[in-house]
Amino acid sequence: MSVDKVIIDTSVWIDYFRGGDLPLSQMVDEIINGGEVCVPGIVLAELIQGAKSEREISIIEDMIETFTFLDIGPGNGGWVEAGRLSYDMKKAGAAVHLADCLIAVLARKNGCRIITRDRHFQALKSMAKIESTTI
């Protein structure tokens, strides 16, 4: 798996846009400048959902032009994989939101590492066969 392709999870983008956490901001800036940032459509949707103004939405929409946009693509294979992963996680006793399962599937399919603040990605690591770093 290539580690130069990175998905920055919604939780990290929120803290990055808020500022205030200088080490996090520096780390995200290094990722942006040193690797390929991949942004799943679901992450954009989550960020837009939480936006506080049209200006914020405009900045978020610009991410489509700035970074590599990832979407599930035609057909239902990715959706089925995400649903199956969520089902398997639930059976294993770890309820994980479907959106995060979709992010994990996209990461695996595109050879991306996930940077997140959400600890449940640790539970997804082995079952989804992904690389993630919780900060």
Query: Following CA atoms 5, 6, 7, 11 in sequence, which dihedral angle do they give, to the nearest 10 degrees?
Result: -170
State mean pLDDT over 37-63: 96
Mean predicted lDDT score pLDDT of the chain: 92
Write the CB contacts of 110 (distance below 8 Å, at least 6 apart in sequence): 5, 38, 70
Sheet of 5-8, strand order:
68-70, 36-40, 5-8, 113-116, 131-134
- pLDDT by residue (tens digit) across 79-134? 999 999 999 999 999 989 999 999 999 999 999 999 999 988 988 998 999 999 98
Pairing relationship of beta strands 131-134 and 113-116 according to DSSP bridges:
parallel
Its pTM stands at 0.91
Q: What is the pLDDT of residue 28?
A: 95
Which CATH superfamily hosts domain 5-134?
Answer: 5'-nuclease (3.40.50.1010)
Q: What is the pLDDT of residue 77?
A: 78
Where do the domains of the chain lie? 5-134
Of the pLDDT bands very low, low, confident and very high (cuts 50, 70, 90), residue 62 is: very high
Percent of residues, the chain, with pLDDT higher than 90 = 79
pLDDT of residue 75 exceeding 80: no
